[in-house]
Chains A and B, each alone.
Chain A
Amino acid sequence: MWLSEAVSSGPQFFYLVPLVVLFPVIGLLVNTAFGGRMSEKAIGWLASAAAGLSFVVAVLLGISLLSYPEGAVVPIVDWITIGELNINWGFQVDTLSVTMMLVVAGVGTLIHIYSIGYMHDDVRFQGDPGRYQRFFVFMNLFIAMMMILVSADNYLMLFVGWEGVGLCSYLLIGFWYDKGENGIGNAVAGKKAFIANRIGDFGFILAAFIMFWVFGTFEFNAVFELAPEVASLFPAAIVAITLLMLVGVTGKSAQIPLFVWLPDAMAGPTPVSALIHAATMVTAGVYLITRSAALYNLVPQVQNIVALVGAATALFAATIAVGQFDIKKVLAYSTISQLGFMVAAVGMGAYVAGMFHLVTHAFFKALLFLSAGSVILGLEHAHHHMEHNSQLKLPMDENDLHFDPQDMRNMGGLRNRMKISFWVYLIGAIALTGIPPLAGFWSKDEILTDAANFNPLAYWMMLAAAFLTAFYMGRQILMVWFGKPRSLPAEHANESPPIITVPLIILAALAATGGALNLPMWHTFTHWLEDSLGHLHAVEFSLQIAGVSSFLVLAAIFLAWLLYGRKYQAMQELPPDKRPDDPLRPILGPVFTALNHAWWMDELYWTIIINPYVSLAHFLADVVDWRFWHDWFHDTVIVGGYNKLTQVLSIQIDLGVIDAVANKLGDSVKRTAAKWRVIETGYVRNYALSFFIGVVLILGYLILR
């Protein structure tokens, strides 16, 4: 077992790696068993402690890797052994997996702490305080599953974690399963996420099948060693495996065509959006491709496809983000766009750039989502107060009945009222848009440089996406924080308590300084990842590309200021019937409507896939199953036939034949008896005559023989 390995592998802490999974599992089990009797604070802090301890273990593993960069594989149990198939659960501790562990556990712990405060308010707004415990159980389950994903030493164990995080995503999106449109909207969103992910999983599973068929094993090290040989003998297999894994990635990391679940996933509570749909789960696809670098490096044509899918998604989602009014939806499409950047990067073979962007994106996207949550809470609180506080009873118009605390059109001028949230949001936005020297600039710049060198088409698409990113973030900042408040709750919103703002400040610090991970001079991260991925090309800093992208970003922010600065306020002065809901609408017209409706992608999918499928299902159920099978085949053919058969058997055969035989037999015996009865005359003389005849016959026989 692994204990004996501990003595031989290294004096460091590699053998502690099962604890990264174990701590969250213990957390969730204790919360499940005893949460009903614990106070909210206890539940929240226990869950956060579990995540925090996971982080501590990850840090220890990182420290161990400094002395032992090659890492270790820590086997745990033999899981499946069938014939030649031998799959074990082992933990692979190397720089790549520890990077992911640090991000997941670090950002995860901060989000857990944030959620202690956020969910306290949220369960009260939604009216069910008892559900607090459930949230933290699911969050810990997510951390455990994500850890299994990133620490696995073979593809199948990775898939266990992959599916586990998909399950947690479903559970947490549908956390308020009885709320949403028509009372089921959140549950429908959860279902959509699960199904879209499942389609991706299908691709992954097919890739796994082909991998087993060709390689005979799922373990990373074994597969990567055999890969060059297989590539020369059977290149189509590697192409198939990598393409099918790409399908899985498009599902999990929300790329074209399976991204449609992520905007709907915003139905879940904001910490969920931050943790799962921004920082960690959706990055699992990027991690998968990076881990499989040895395979992707052998098939440049597939790499091209991955890069183009990523770049196209980046541009596509960025356009949609421009036309959204919900604060979380903007961030959701922004996430899809940034994931596109990451996927494009790892698709081009720039694994370091992709992973670097993954880490920095986790910081600033989580920060943005959590601050958005702080804003939403502030507005909800103010709205709540105004509804129930008679002193503050101000004239409310009919819009307040359906007040949407997430709609940016209801916000404005919040920077004076929620100062900390404003500053951290600003830092996050600047990091996202890629303004130096914050983290996003370094990572995005590295991706753009790699793209310019390897894939010009992807470069241009991502440059356009970067421009739009800056534009929509500028738009969002101006709409939310600047100008005058556009609704009564916005006028009375207050800052959130420290339990919410302190994690934000920590994340802001990380977003600001995270660029230090891989500054072009020192390439710290590149060297760190080289220990897992082999020789990696360190990208030189290109002043030209940095200059072009920075210029575009500043131009976009300037454009946003033109449209959403003073012009937006001027627009608000117009009477309601002449006032467009957004300055872009008169300029872009129908294009803006398309952007707002996400280019009608959902409607497209409904028309070409889902509606035919539902019709087919109805047809199969009503016509084939009920009318044909049940009504006709069962009732008419089988039951009717059976009834006829029993009729024939009982009447014609049982009564007709068998009874007739029995009766006739009896009748024949009677007739025979009747015939023979005439001998019994009763007359003695007849009997005497028969004696006589008999004696004569016998004596005659005896004498004459």
Chain B
Amino acid sequence: MVPIQYFIGLSAILFTIGILGVLIRRNAIIIFMSVELMLNSANLAFITFARMYQSLDGQVFVFFVMAVAAAEVAVGLALIVAIFRNKQSIDVDQINSLHG
């Protein structure tokens, strides 16, 4: 079948792309998407290891992660809407009034 290493590698690549996205992109929604990407990569890693050790614990944990991701997105999008009402923009570089 497909070797396990390819799944782990894919998970790592997806995680890295997610990190880069959080650090580099300015659009708040894109940052959220990147965060989702990171979460999904973690999910992939969980499933891979569940398959490898023939355990269902990893797969159950994926459900937790998805629930958390969904809740987080809800709160995050609410935040973005609130920010947009104030700033008329979702460019995170413009939220710098706490600078020293």
- The answer to whether B19 touches A683, judged by C-beta atoms less than 8 angstroms apart, is no
CB distance from B86 to the nearest CB of A (A): 15
Per the bound structure, the CA–CA distance linking A689 and B55 in Å amounts to: 35
Q: Which residue of A lies closest to B97 (CB)?
A: A682
Residues of the B chain whose Cβ atoms lie less than 8 Å from the Cβ of A232: none
- The answer to whether A680 touches B100, judged by C-beta atoms less than 8 angstroms apart, is yes
Q: Contacts A688-B22, A688-B23, A692-B23 known; A682 to B99 CB distance under 8 Å?
A: yes
CB distance from B89 to the nearest CB of A (A): 14
In-complex Cβ contact of B23 among A678, A679, A685 (8 A)? A685
CB distance from A450 to the nearest CB of B (A): 123
Q: Which of A685-705 contact B (CB under 8 A)?
A: 685, 688-689, 692
Q: Which of B26-64 contact A (CB under 8 A)?
A: 26
In-complex Cβ contact of B96 among A678, A683, A688 (8 A)? A683
Residues of the B chain whose Cβ atoms lie less than 8 Å from the Cβ of A692: 19, 23
B81 within 8 A of A: no
- The answer to whether A685 touches B100, judged by C-beta atoms less than 8 angstroms apart, is no
In-complex Cβ contact of A682 among B24, B26, B96 (8 A)? B96
Q: Contacts A692-B19, A692-B23 known; A685 to B93 CB distance under 8 Å?
A: yes
A8 within 8 A of B: no
A402 within 8 A of B: no
B4 within 8 A of A: no
- The answer to whether A677 touches B100, judged by C-beta atoms less than 8 angstroms apart, is yes
- The answer to whether B100 touches A684, judged by C-beta atoms less than 8 angstroms apart, is no
**Digit string of B60-100 for contact with A (CB within 8 Å is 1, else 0)?**
00000000000000000000000000000000110111111
Per the bound structure, the CA–CA distance linking A683 and B98 in Å amounts to: 8
A391 within 8 A of B: no
CB distance from A611 to the nearest CB of B (A): 92
A544 within 8 A of B: no
CB distance from B47 to the nearest CB of A (A): 22
Per the bound structure, the CA–CA distance linking A677 and B22 in Å amounts to: 24
CB distance from A305 to the nearest CB of B (A): 109
Per the bound structure, the CA–CA distance linking A692 and B99 in Å amounts to: 20
Interface of A is mostly: helix
CB distance from B84 to the nearest CB of A (A): 15
- The answer to whether B98 touches A682, judged by C-beta atoms less than 8 angstroms apart, is yes
CB distance from A691 to the nearest CB of B (A): 9
A681 within 8 A of B: yes
Q: Which residue of B lies closest to A673 (CB)?
A: B100
Q: Which residue of B lies closest to A687 (CB)?
A: B98
Q: Which residue of B lies closest to A681 (CB)?
A: B99
- The answer to whether A685 touches B92, judged by C-beta atoms less than 8 angstroms apart, is yes
Residues of the B chain whose Cβ atoms lie less than 8 Å from the Cβ of A683: 92-93, 96, 99
CB distance from A187 to the nearest CB of B (A): 93
- The answer to whether A680 touches B98, judged by C-beta atoms less than 8 angstroms apart, is yes
Residues of the B chain whose Cβ atoms lie less than 8 Å from the Cβ of A677: 100
Per the bound structure, the CA–CA distance linking A304 and B98 in Å amounts to: 119
- The answer to whether B95 touches A682, judged by C-beta atoms less than 8 angstroms apart, is yes
CB distance from B15 to the nearest CB of A (A): 12
Q: Which residue of A lies closest to B25 (CB)?
A: A685
Residues of the A chain whose Cβ atoms lie less than 8 Å from the Cβ of B98: 680, 682
- The answer to whether B19 touches A684, judged by C-beta atoms less than 8 angstroms apart, is no
Residues of the A chain whose Cβ atoms lie less than 8 Å from the Cβ of B96: 681-683
- The answer to whether B100 touches A678, judged by C-beta atoms less than 8 angstroms apart, is yes
Per the bound structure, the CA–CA distance linking A421 and B18 in Å amounts to: 151
CB distance from B32 to the nearest CB of A (A): 13
Residues of the A chain whose Cβ atoms lie less than 8 Å from the Cβ of B19: 692
Residues of the A chain whose Cβ atoms lie less than 8 Å from the Cβ of B95: 682, 684
- The answer to whether B97 touches A684, judged by C-beta atoms less than 8 angstroms apart, is no
Per the bound structure, the CA–CA distance linking A678 and B95 in Å amounts to: 16
CB distance from B66 to the nearest CB of A (A): 23
Q: Which residue of A lies closest to B26 (CB)?
A: A685
CB distance from B46 to the nearest CB of A (A): 18
Q: Which residue of B lies closest to A677 (CB)?
A: B100
- The answer to whether B99 touches A680, judged by C-beta atoms less than 8 angstroms apart, is yes
Per the bound structure, the CA–CA distance linking A683 and B26 in Å amounts to: 10
CB distance from A675 to the nearest CB of B (A): 11
CB distance from B82 to the nearest CB of A (A): 15
- The answer to whether A689 touches B100, judged by C-beta atoms less than 8 angstroms apart, is no
CB distance from B16 to the nearest CB of A (A): 11
Residues of the B chain whose Cβ atoms lie less than 8 Å from the Cβ of A681: 96, 99-100
Per the bound structure, the CA–CA distance linking A684 and B19 in Å amounts to: 14
Residues of the A chain whose Cβ atoms lie less than 8 Å from the Cβ of B99: 680-683
Per the bound structure, the CA–CA distance linking A692 and B22 in Å amounts to: 10
- The answer to whether A679 touches B92, judged by C-beta atoms less than 8 angstroms apart, is no
Residues of the A chain whose Cβ atoms lie less than 8 Å from the Cβ of B93: 683, 685
Q: Which residue of B lies closest to A689 (CB)?
A: B23
- The answer to whether A679 touches B22, judged by C-beta atoms less than 8 angstroms apart, is no
Per the bound structure, the CA–CA distance linking A667 and B98 in Å amounts to: 24
Per the bound structure, the CA–CA distance linking A679 and B100 in Å amounts to: 8
Q: Which residue of A lies closest to B100 (CB)?
A: A680
CB distance from A139 to the nearest CB of B (A): 104
Per the bound structure, the CA–CA distance linking A682 and B95 in Å amounts to: 7
Q: Which of A613-648 contact B (CB under 8 A)?
A: none
Residues of the A chain whose Cβ atoms lie less than 8 Å from the Cβ of B26: 685
CB distance from A700 to the nearest CB of B (A): 15
CB distance from B62 to the nearest CB of A (A): 22
Residues of the A chain whose Cβ atoms lie less than 8 Å from the Cβ of B92: 683-685
Residues of the B chain whose Cβ atoms lie less than 8 Å from the Cβ of A679: 100
Residues of the A chain whose Cβ atoms lie less than 8 Å from the Cβ of B24: 685
Given contacts A683-B93, A688-B22, 19 further A-B contacts (CB under 8 A): A678-B100, A679-B100, A680-B98, A680-B99, A681-B99, A682-B95, A682-B97, A682-B100, A683-B92, A683-B96, A683-B99, A684-B95, A685-B23, A685-B26, A685-B92, A685-B93, A689-B23, A692-B19, A692-B23
Q: What is A's interface to B at a CB cutoff of 8 Å?
A: 677-685, 688-689, 692
Give 3 nearest A-B pairs by CB, closest first. A682-B99, A682-B96, A680-B100
Some 11 contacts from A to B, beta carbons below 8 A apart, are: A680-B99, A681-B96, A681-B100, A682-B96, A683-B92, A685-B22, A685-B23, A685-B24, A685-B92, A685-B93, A688-B22
